[in-house]
């Protein structure tokens, strides 16, 4: 397992991951073209992957010099997860995802089937799930479940986890009992600048708050791709978030 990048190793813009949550390749192309100089990576999920084709979407990002995050969220038996990861490896992604709930063997299978340059991330509790629903699904609070899944992810030797920024504090506290957690990168969706609305995210935090609590990468979607009029263009939104990250790193 690789050690998570230190707070000083990544440039502020490289900490920003933008989801290409559109179904049209033309719209995605305009976003990639505008944002590539201002963000670290682009995340391809179900909408663009199934709407335009995973290979076409990956080629689009690569052709503009962007880092690729394939968010397949594999959740199946180990052999099936391995085959999925092996197919995705053809796109040479920087990051891919597997659900921690698939188990240690499935996560290990994803790592073994991926490229050496690809980091596998374990998805813990989706940021759209609140405390009551989390208890109904997993039998515990988001904080408890995220720590539990993070320990399994460390055992599987993945590179990092995907969690809400609201679990960053409890992960840091859990490090005293589980020192192996320190090696995990923290990738946090549910990041919303103070000038953006929460949309369907339930467990959110501002970019500065998330960075100050130990987030490695921030996944920021609609605040960048559809910013409010007072912010302006997607590139202006990305630049504003980059400045917020810079200030948080300086304070840190």
Active-site amino acid positions: 73
How far apart are the C-alpha atoms of 126 and 200, rounded to whole Å? 11
Alpha helix stretches (DSSP H) within the chain: 25-35, 46-52, 54-63, 78-88, 104-113, 131-138, 142-155, 168-174, 207-212, 222-225, 234-251
How far apart are the C-alpha atoms of 38 and 40, rounded to whole Å? 7
Whether 67 and 132 have beta carbons less than 8 Å apart is answered as no
Composition of the chain by helix, strand, coil, percent to 5: 50, 15, 35
Contacts of 237 by beta carbon, 8 Å cutoff, 6+ apart: 193, 223, 224, 227, 231
Contacts of 42 by beta carbon, 8 Å cutoff, 6+ apart: 17, 18, 19, 20, 31, 32, 35, 61, 66, 67, 68, 69
Question: Residue 38 CA to chain centroid, in angstroms?
Answer: 17
Whether 38 and 66 have beta carbons less than 8 Å apart is answered as no
Whether 218 and 245 have beta carbons less than 8 Å apart is answered as yes
Burial 208-223 (b: 16+ CB within 10 A, else e): bbbbbbbbbbbbbbbb
């Amino acid at each position: 397992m690789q050690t998570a990048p230190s707070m000083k190793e990544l440039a502020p813009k490289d900490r920003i991951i933008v989801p290409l949550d559109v179904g049209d390749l033309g719209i995605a192309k305009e976003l990639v073209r505008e944002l590539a100089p201002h963000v670290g990576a682009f995340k391809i999920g179900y909408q663009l992957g199934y709407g335009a084709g995973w290979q076409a979407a990956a080629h689009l990002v690569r052709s503009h010099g962007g880092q690729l995050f394939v968010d397949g969220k594999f959740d199946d038996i180990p052999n099936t997860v391995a085959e999925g990861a092996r197919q995705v490896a053809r796109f040479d992604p920087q990051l891919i995802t597997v659900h921690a709930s698939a188990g240690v063997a499935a996560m290990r299978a994803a790592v073994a089937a991926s490229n050496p340059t690809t980091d596998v991330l374990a998805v813990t509790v989706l940021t759209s799930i609140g405390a009551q629903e989390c208890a109904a699904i997993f039998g515990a609070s988001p904080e408890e479940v995220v720590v539990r899944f993070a320990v399994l992810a460390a055992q599987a030797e993945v590179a990092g986890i995907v969690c809400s920024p609201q679990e960053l504090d409890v992960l840091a506290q859990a490090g005293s009992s589980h020192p192996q957690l320190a090696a995990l990168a923290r990738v946090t969706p549910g990041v919303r600048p103070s000038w953006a609305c929460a949309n369907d995210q339930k467990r959110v935090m501002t970019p500065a708050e998330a960075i100050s609590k130990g987030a490695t990468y921030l996944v920021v979607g609609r605040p960048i791709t559809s910013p409010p009029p007072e912010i302006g263009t997607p590139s202006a939104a990305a630049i504003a978030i980059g400045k917020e990250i810079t200030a948080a790193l300086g304070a840190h």
